[in-house]
Structure 1
Amino acid sequence: MRSLFLLLILTLGVQSSFAKKVKLFGQHAAYANAQIKVLCYDDAFSKTEKELAILQLDRQGQFSVEFEIAETQMVFLPLGVFRGYFFAETGKEYQLSLPPRRDLSPSQRIDPFFEPQDVLLGFRNTDKDGLNSLIREFDNQFDNFINQNFDDIYNQRSSSVGVGFAKQMKSDYVQVTNTYFQVYLKYRLGFLDYLASPEAYISLESKYFTKQALELNNTAYTTLFNKIYDNSLSSAFHRKEKSKFNKALESSDPYSNLSKVMQSYTVYQDKTFRDLLLAKAVFNGTENAVLSRSKAIEILQKINENSTDSRVSQLIKNYLVNLSHLLKNTDVPNFKLGDIVLEDYKGKYLYLNFCNTTNSVWENDLESLKKLHEAFGKDIEFLSVASDLDTARFTNRLKQKDITWPMVQIDSENSILADFKINVFPTYIIINPEGKVYQYPARGPHDGVEKIFVKIQRNLLRKNYSQKK
């Protein structure tokens, strides 16, 4: 035990010795008194955000903050309609130049589909040959080339004009010694190979991932990885030997059997690469209905048990948080909507729906909802949460539609949509009397929810009958 403790201390000491400070400073009067988060991704694939620091601007808009990173890292700042980003190198100081201030509008704040515009931030204290300047210069050339020549690149194989462009870019930047940029250059140009031969997965794997270093902190590497290994359970693995992967997936020990099948291919020999790819494939499988969330969780836990790599563990930790969100019998996020709180529904079943009254799907659901409420309203509470922005219009629609259960319009400051991770309207959830998830996503009025309500109603009748006896 003592040796294990010493090993842990030593490991932590080594890790902390690798981390070096990065300093951000500057001034922008338009952001005076604002608080701006400095974020990065917590792992390579889940898009889970991690807070590195907070910029607290004073009354003149001045700011200065330090944080630690262990390697070059893409860092980003939420700036209203913009998402400012840059590539932070260890031990460096950056005098940030922020874009003009444009805060989110009320509609943008509650729009689950709104995406800020990415802006590569500039600096007032770096030379033209710095990493961010190199990436900006290269990306401008690269993006312009693809935009102007897409038809002559896509699916043109060896005749693609991208072949010559890639050679030219390698020649132009051959003298650059920045390691991060050279990896970035390689995998961004690899995207041209992908566009030229999108079905040539074996050769792309061989060229860019077989016996290659895991460059998980490099955005060009992870972008190409995501392209080539998109939906692997239903596509990439099936292009090899579909039956073997299916059989392994359906076995009593899918992790071990999938891992064995993968080891028969050269590209998957590295265990960490194999575990990362399998974890990503399993998670994506739930999004494409190839796997249930419960089975995905089981496989991910197995991967984690059999891995000693911290990058695998961190990715799986974030995937498990995502998959466990609103899982059956887990706690529902607490909420407050005016005078309505979750606690009001304790001891009762609740059919909660998120909607927008301008949404045609919800409009079609409404008459069926009314019938369901009339039939089951004594046993099951109904609550509609609307993301409408126009209060007068929302109020008029309530009167016109004669809705007989509580329907609440949320404001842009309420976090309920984010807490429940709602990204489509309408969304339905059934909550049990203990305030836990009974079904999510629940069936809608036209998708058979009536059968579930009948089951709930019968169970309540049995429970009341047994209590009376």
Structure 2
Amino acid sequence: MNWRSRSFLIWPVFAWAVFCGEAAEVHIRARHPEWANQHIEIFTIADPVVHARQVLAAADTDETGFFEVRFSLEETRQIYIEQGVYRMYFYARPGRSYRLILPPFREKSRDEWLNPYFQPSVVHLATLDEDSTGLNALIRNFDRYFQPVYEELAVQVYGRREVEGVERAIDQLEMLFPADTGFFAEYKQYRLSSLRALQYQQESRVLKQHILPDEPPDWNNPAYHDLFSQTFMRVFRKLDADGSFSPVLQEIYREKDLGLLIASLKERLSLRSHSLVEMIAVKGLYDACHDEEISASLAAHFLEELAESGSGEEIRYCALHVHERLTRLLPGSPAPRLLPADPDREEDYLNGVRGKYIYLVFASPRSYTFLRELPLIRQIASRFGENLQVLLVMAGTEGSRDDLFAGDSTGIRVVYTEYGNEMIEKYRVRAFPSYFLIDQEGKIIWAPAPSPLEHFSDKFTRLVKSAGQ
């Protein structure tokens, strides 16, 4: 079985591994009148590299703002709800029931939807089922003391000053939150270890201190995720601080030798945990590709192999998601689905684009840049209409600013959608307008494509001529 066919099977296997065995049901419910008639997804984070979501349940609130869901968990996990301006979370134990206390609902404004740097308000939800000794209260209180300490020390790191007061801060936190057992004890130790890691943040020494336990990884604990990311961020670059790792990497890349990569990481990091080293390899490949130190296609080769032969389901699942993230919009890859949600319009849509290149434009009537470039987009549609279909995906309510296209005879097709629509997410649109070019077979050519002001017409003309059309 090749890795592509596995992509349809890994998720069910992973879900079985996570949720079966000693799994027990979790029951969640909440009511807030301002949350009436909302669709809510309950999810957890499934990997420490690209933080892929693993949806556990979904529900629609009624007219009173009430919802309840049930799902199974094998181990304690951090559970998320992201809605409106909020990214809310709490910790759920298998076999428990939780009545959540929701904040007043606030939807994102149009400006917030259009802002590529928007950050949601993070809220640790309280519950009606736990007292001050409950897990959520313990973590919430600990974080309230820990976060200011971490931020103060991080300022020293990024100010390139010697980090001082780490052990004193750790001793104070240990006194405030004495020894415990179970999930909170591990959470606390991972957080305290992240303070020690700050002392070595600017040096490769962080990789030699064994701050992360050399044992099977604790992927269910978000504090472990954060410590893993902190310790092994740009791990290939850190290992090459003295220039000794670069020749090894070049041989690994030239030979496309995953075994040599794993063996080299094990030796240089002095680690025995094979699954931990494999996840370090996944993160190292992702970071190197993100920093343009290697191509996405080269990283994809190693990730395919890890998705096929990784030592654990978590590794294979993560490698698969990282591979998808890196290759989704690569030239030659299938473009994410563009068909409108209304099946009655599907055939009409297909007839309009069949056999043509597609100049895909994600835009908003509130974008000044788009309004400035719209006359040039019309010129492109008129000039290349025989070979090119201009498709505008307008983020906003259908009918708003329809005057923009009233009487338009250039052949531009317009699809209206909402901010945050799945299509926008699949194309990773972070600003309006964003441009893409898709070939006649539905494969990506340019992502992003040049805008009209970036000489799209000249570049497209050369492309068509080179293809002999």
**After TM superposition, is the score higher than 0.5?**
yes
Q: Which residue of 1 aligns with 2:6?
A: none
Q: CA deviation at 1:55?
A: 3.8
3-state SS of 1:96 partner: strand
Q: CA deviation at 1:346?
A: 1.0
Q: Does 1:118 align with 2:126?
A: no
- Which of 174, 187, 192 is the matching residue for 1:189? 192
What per-residue deviation string (whole Å, max 9, x for no partner) do you get for residues 167-187 of structure 1? 11123323322x222222122
Q: CA deviation at 1:308?
A: 2.8
- Residue 388 of structure 1 contacts residue 409 of structure 1 at CA under 8 Å; is this kept in 2? no
Structure 1 stretch 25-34 or stretch 288-297: which is displaced more?
25-34
- Which of 446, 449, 465 is the matching residue for 1:457? 465
Name the CA distance, whole Å, in 2 between partners of 1:118 and 1:139: 13
Check 1:37–1:276 CA distance in 2 against 1; reply closer, same or farther (3 A cut): same
Q: Which residue of 2 aligns with 1:237?
A: 239
Check 1:370–1:438 CA distance in 2 against 1; reply closer, same or farther (3 A cut): same
Check 1:286–1:150 CA distance in 2 against 1; reply closer, same or farther (3 A cut): closer
Q: What are structure 2's unaligned runs of at least 5 residues? A: 1-12
- Which of 349, 365, 374 is the matching residue for 2:357? 349
- Which of 61, 73, 76 is the matching residue for 1:72? 76
3-state SS of 2:100 partner: strand
Name the CA distance, whole Å, in 2 between partners of 1:360 and 1:29: 37
Q: CA deviation at 1:218?
A: 1.3
Name the CA distance, whole Å, in 2 between partners of 1:393 and 1:161: 58
Q: CA deviation at 1:112?
A: 4.9
Q: CA deviation at 1:21?
A: 1.6
Check 1:19–1:453 CA distance in 2 against 1; reply closer, same or farther (3 A cut): farther
3-state SS of 2:441 partner: coil
- Residue 107 of structure 1 contacts residue 412 of structure 1 at CA under 8 Å; is this kept in 2? no
Check 1:121–1:243 CA distance in 2 against 1; reply closer, same or farther (3 A cut): same
- Residue 30 of structure 1 contacts residue 100 of structure 1 at CA under 8 Å; is this kept in 2? yes
Q: Which residue of 1 aligns with 2:254?
A: 251
TM-score (norm. length: structure 1): 0.82
Q: Does 1:432 align with 2:434?
A: no
Q: CA deviation at 1:429?
A: 1.7
Check 1:344–1:110 CA distance in 2 against 1; reply closer, same or farther (3 A cut): farther
Name the CA distance, whole Å, in 2 between partners of 1:221 and 1:359: 41
1:337-416 equivalences in 2 (<5 Å) = 341=349, 343-356=351-364, 376-387=384-395, 395=403, 406=412, 408=414, 410-412=416-418, 415-416=422-423
Name the CA distance, whole Å, in 2 between partners of 1:294 and 1:273: 24
TM-score (norm. length: structure 2): 0.82
Name the CA distance, whole Å, in 2 between partners of 1:54 and 1:383: 32
3-state SS of 2:467 partner: helix
Structure 1 stretch 144-153 or stretch 416-425: which is displaced more?
144-153
- Residue 22 of structure 1 contacts residue 88 of structure 1 at CA under 8 Å; is this kept in 2? yes
Name the CA distance, whole Å, in 2 between partners of 1:305 and 1:411: 37
Name the CA distance, whole Å, in 2 between partners of 1:150 and 1:264: 30
Q: Which residue of 2 aligns with 1:4?
A: none
- Residue 27 of structure 1 contacts residue 62 of structure 1 at CA under 8 Å; is this kept in 2? yes
Percent identity between matched residues is 23
Check 1:112–1:374 CA distance in 2 against 1; reply closer, same or farther (3 A cut): same
- Which of 33, 36, 42 is the matching residue for 1:29? 33
- Residue 327 of structure 2 contacts residue 333 of structure 2 at CA under 8 Å; is this kept in 1? no
Check 1:263–1:143 CA distance in 2 against 1; reply closer, same or farther (3 A cut): closer
3-state SS of 1:24 partner: strand
- Residue 351 of structure 1 contacts residue 428 of structure 1 at CA under 8 Å; is this kept in 2? yes
Q: Which residue of 1 aligns with 2:144?
A: 140
Structure 1 stretch 11-20 or stretch 71-80: which is displaced more?
11-20
Structure 1 stretch 223-232 or stretch 238-247: which is displaced more?
238-247
Q: CA deviation at 1:322?
A: 2.3
Paired letter, 2:239? F
Name the CA distance, whole Å, in 2 between partners of 1:404 and 1:257: 56
What per-residue deviation string (whole Å, max 9, x for no partner) do you get for residues 215-247 of structure 1? 2221112112212322334x2332263423431
- Residue 346 of structure 1 contacts residue 433 of structure 1 at CA under 8 Å; is this kept in 2? yes
3-state SS of 1:326 partner: coil
3-state SS of 2:149 partner: helix
Name the CA distance, whole Å, in 2 between partners of 1:156 and 1:133: 34
3-state SS of 1:208 partner: coil
Name the CA distance, whole Å, in 2 between partners of 1:14 and 1:237: 33
Q: CA deviation at 1:77?
A: 1.0
Name the CA distance, whole Å, in 1 between partners of 2:400 and 2:69: 44
Name the CA distance, whole Å, in 1 between partners of 2:392 and 2:461: 17
Q: CA deviation at 1:272?
A: 0.9
Check 1:416–1:331 CA distance in 2 against 1; reply closer, same or farther (3 A cut): closer
1:265-280 equivalences in 2 (<5 Å) = 265-280=268-283
Q: Which residue of 1 aligns with 2:285?
A: 282
Q: Which residue of 2 aligns with 1:330?
A: 334
- Residue 293 of structure 1 contacts residue 323 of structure 1 at CA under 8 Å; is this kept in 2? yes
Name the CA distance, whole Å, in 1 between partners of 2:277 and 2:125: 35
Q: What are structure 1's unaligned runs of at least 5 residues? A: 1-8, 462-469
